[in-house]
Amino acid sequence: MKNSIHFISQVIPFYNEAENARPVIQTSLGELRSHGVPFEIIAVDDGSKDRTWQELESLQKHSPELKLVRLRTNFGQTRALAAGIKQAQGDWILTMDGDGQNDPADLPKLISKAQEGYDVVSGWRKNRKDNSLTRTLPSRIANWILALITGLSLHDSGCSLKLYRASALGSISLYSERHRFIPFLLSLKGFRIAEIEVNHRPRVRGNSKYGLSRTFKVFLDLIALALFARFREEPRIYFFLAAAPFMFFAVLTALQGGMTYYGASFLYAFGAFTLVSCGLMAEWLFHFSRERNYAG
């Protein structure tokens, strides 16, 4: 079934990108205007300490399609995107980095692909212009793991150049480094995902904000996604697995005999019982919430 695109909201987060803000916004405006679909661009200043905000304000004076959001401090890319998405009015939401490495000339290709009937169109930086050891290799490992977990095979989940159906984005919450996993989260909910090759340009202005600490956070989120994908229908299993060691030590200490061991056995057993009870409550709440959503 073909998709109709009535209004596009492009969300671009910026953090200390004073040198890139003007060219990124101006080229995006040019591409979207030439495509002919009504649009808005929402630029989010994620607590920049340079002149990024002043550059954006200057651009807004001559660009009625440009809306600005300013965050008090640096919350990170995912929460900056979430702040922009919250202000979006479009039925489709286009996301892009503010560092100038994504090519606005690819925007019409994403739009055309979405019109074929997909809910998400994800960019693939096939010829990536980043450091292979710190950026490209970890990305490939993460993509491989994500494909095993969810069954959705994407070459480049970390590419920020993506187009989403707004109603699909509204079905998930965004936090930590979760913006990288949006297509996988949506695929678990049954939305249709496509991937197309996009151009990737080397950074020519400003400094990269990506470091090893960010890589560590990404892999922590990857573990969380793996657990969610495995146990999302049966959340009690989380708690049952956590309770198993407590139950083992409860039995082990009880077999030792004596008041000291019986006391320890009781505490272990109580811990296991508490975790199992929490698991059953979580299962009940999960299914109650899902039935209420279906009824609505």
pLDDT score of 48: 95
Q: Please provide the size of the chain in residues.
A: 296
Q: Give this prediction's pTM.
A: 0.73
Is residue 288 situated within a structural domain? yes
Whether the pLDDT of residue 239 is over 90: the answer is: no
Residues 148 and 261 in one domain: no
Domain boundary among 198, 216, 231: 231
More confident residue, 272 or 169: 169
Per DSSP bridges, beta strands 193-197 and 120-124 are parallel
Q: What does the alpha-carbon distance between residue 43 and residue 85 come to, in Å, rounded to a whole number?
A: 10
Is residue 2 situated within a structural domain? no
Domain boundary among 231, 258, 287: 231
Mean pLDDT confidence for 72-96: 93
Domain boundary among 203, 231, 259: 231
Residues 246 and 280 in one domain: yes
Whether the pLDDT of residue 282 is over 70: the answer is: no
Token pair, residue 228, equals 């969610």
Residues 139 and 244 in one domain: no
Which single residue is written with the structure tokens 């479009």?
A: 90
Q: Long-range contacts of range 267-275, CB-CB < 8 Å, 24 or more positions apart?
A: 271/243, 271/246, 272/243, 272/244, 272/246, 272/247, 273/243, 275/239, 275/240, 275/242, 275/243, 275/246
Q: What does the alpha-carbon distance between residue 254 and residue 295 come to, in Å, rounded to a whole number?
A: 48
Q: If pLDDT is split at 50, 70 and 90, which confidence band does 67 have?
A: very high
Q: What does the alpha-carbon distance between residue 119 and residue 111 come to, in Å, rounded to a whole number?
A: 11
pLDDT score of 225: 64
**Which of 58-67, 157-166, 278-287 is the most confident on average?**
58-67
Which secondary-structure segment (H or E) carries 239?
helix 236-256
Owning domain of residue 247:
236-295
Residues 153 and 196 in one domain: yes
CB contact at 8 A, 89 and 7? yes
pLDDT score of 131: 61
Beta bridge partners of 133: none
Residues 284 and 224 in one domain: no
Cβ count near 272 (within 10 Å)? 22
pLDDT score of 295: 42
CB contact at 8 A, 199 and 243? no
Mean pLDDT confidence for 157-181: 85
The CATH code of the domain that includes 54 is 3.90.550.10
Is residue 24 situated within a structural domain? yes
pLDDT score of 232: 59
